Amino acid sequence: MKNWKLIQGIKTGFSLVSINLILAFIGLEVVSLGFYFSQEKQLFYTRKDTISQVREDLEKTGTRLGTDLNNESILERLHPFFGYVLKQEIFANEESGIRVNNYGLVSKYDYPFIKSNNNQFVIGVFGGSVANDFAVNSLFSEAIGNQGFIQYLKQIPQLKDKEIIILCFAGGGYKQPQQLLMLNYFISIGQEFDAVINIDGFNEVALSHQNNQERIELFLPSVQHILPLTQLASDDLSVMAAIVQISELKNNLSTGIKKLESCKLAFCHGWRSLQVKGLLNRYQTEIIKYDEQIVRNSSKIDRSNSLVYLNKISEVLEDKVAFEKVAKNWYESSLTMSQILADRNILYFHFVQPNQYHPTERIYSPEEKIFIIEDHSYAVGVRKGYPVLLSKINSLQEAKVNIFNSVNIFDGEKEIVYRDACCHYNMNGQTILERYIANSIKTIMEKKDINSRKNI
């Protein structure tokens, strides 16, 4: 009898535990459903797209998630004219057709792209990673039929019936005079343009500052990108070890994203999202540490025996002197781009990109302040260099360069616009930038149209 009561008690206890676990699971699922709806504005079970935003953001920057160390970790290759480009075939999106093309640039097309009909309007985008994001995001938006930069441009009367072709000539870390040199090169091999957009400013000051600290010529490509390739050529084992660690993190991130995208329950999605976010933060942190390690190790290299020739300066320049030299080169490079294009009746639009380390009237939420690291290696260059660049804008405008100071375009936005502690924007920030650039182009084209009619 006692055994029977004991058995009954165990059954009752097991039932209560089971019921509580089921109720707890249902509660967690309901909370997860509510959280997902608040973030995505749609029901989890009826969502159409299971591709995570993390994967889309990484792919738009040309970062392909893979498991092959040899093929996936060392993404860049030295280029005899451009400094460096992406390794071909490291990224390809079959749905959109976007890939790393024959010149190591992210595009839908090989270069030079030749018009197939007179209705095509070709826009070349030049600059660093922010410009790359801008161009590639425009292509992704067009591929999936979303409202984006191309649709904004079609609101301009002269472009409403045009087939707008976006060509990306931008790359992570590019800075003047790389844009100028690349423009000259591609024009020389027959690339056609109707308009050119140059989005820059950040790399010129942030990365040139690092060049100065390493006593490498300010106007050479970024030491962050050139030195790793140089060190690999010198068999630097510490660089290889860092690359292996980053590769392992990337593989873990890839696995985490796959598990996230396969979730059938909202609770699973919420849990996996937290894991992926943690892995992504670690991955981005290791990238920053890797960049800093490259700069630290550069002093150990015997550059006299290096296969890569880098012009050295005799001593680290004072900040005031260095930034004035950078700004002068930036001014001359943009002016020359504008003049070269004007001679060919090609429109040129230059935009100084917003950055969180340049103080404006923007009020940052606690959630966005995590993207501002006071002692970040880029902060000094931006805070000291941006004012010098901006002081050149009036002179460029007087020289009839279509240049726009975009540093304040986020000031009135309450939502988060940045997505990392460097310089890059989330989809909200991208949208604001796209609209600003499209409206600026519209203003210039309308003015040009009015002036043309006056001259008739």
Distance CA 132, CA 140 (A): 12
Query: What is the mean predicted confidence (pLDDT) over 108-112?
Result: 96
Distance CA 53, CA 51 (A): 7
pLDDT(143) > 90: no
Distance CA 257, CA 254 (A): 5
pLDDT tens profile 375-391: 888 999 999 999 999 99
- Give pLDDT, residue 294: 59
pLDDT(341) > 50: yes
The confidence band for 224, taking pLDDT boundaries of 50, 70 and 90, is confident
pLDDT(108) > 80: yes
pLDDT(213) > 80: yes
Q: Could you give the 3-state DSSP secondary structure of residue 315? A: coil
Query: What is the mean predicted confidence (pLDDT) over 425-441?
Result: 95
Least confident of 192-201, 285-294, 351-360: 285-294
pLDDT(197) > 90: yes
More confident call, 50 vs 358:
358
Query: What is the mean predicted confidence (pLDDT) over 311-333?
Result: 95
Contact 342, 348 (CB under 8 A): yes
- Give pLDDT, residue 62: 42
- Give pLDDT, residue 70: 37
- Give pLDDT, residue 259: 77
Query: What is the mean predicted confidence (pLDDT) over 222-227?
Result: 84
Query: What is the mean predicted confidence (pLDDT) over 274-292?
Result: 72
Query: What is the mean predicted confidence (pLDDT) over 122-128?
Result: 98
- Give pLDDT, residue 315: 94
- Give pLDDT, residue 110: 96
Query: What is the mean predicted confidence (pLDDT) over 185-208?
Result: 97
pLDDT tens profile 11-26: 565 566 566 556 555 6
Query: What is the mean predicted confidence (pLDDT) over 78-88?
Result: 89
More confident call, 166 vs 14:
166
pLDDT tens profile 19-76: 655 655 565 556 555 555 555 656 655 565 655 566 655 544 445 454 333 334 567 8
Distance (Å) of CA 17 to CA 12, 20, 320: 9, 5, 70
Contact 232, 244 (CB under 8 A): no
pLDDT(275) > 60: yes
H or E segment to which residue 314 belongs: none
Least confident of 256-260, 398-402, 410-414: 256-260
Find tokens 């209705």 and name the residue. 119
List CB contacts of 143: < 8 A, sequence separation 6 or more.
95, 96, 97, 98
Q: Could you give the 3-state DSSP secondary structure of residue 268? A: helix
List CB contacts of 307: < 8 A, sequence separation 6 or more.
230, 233
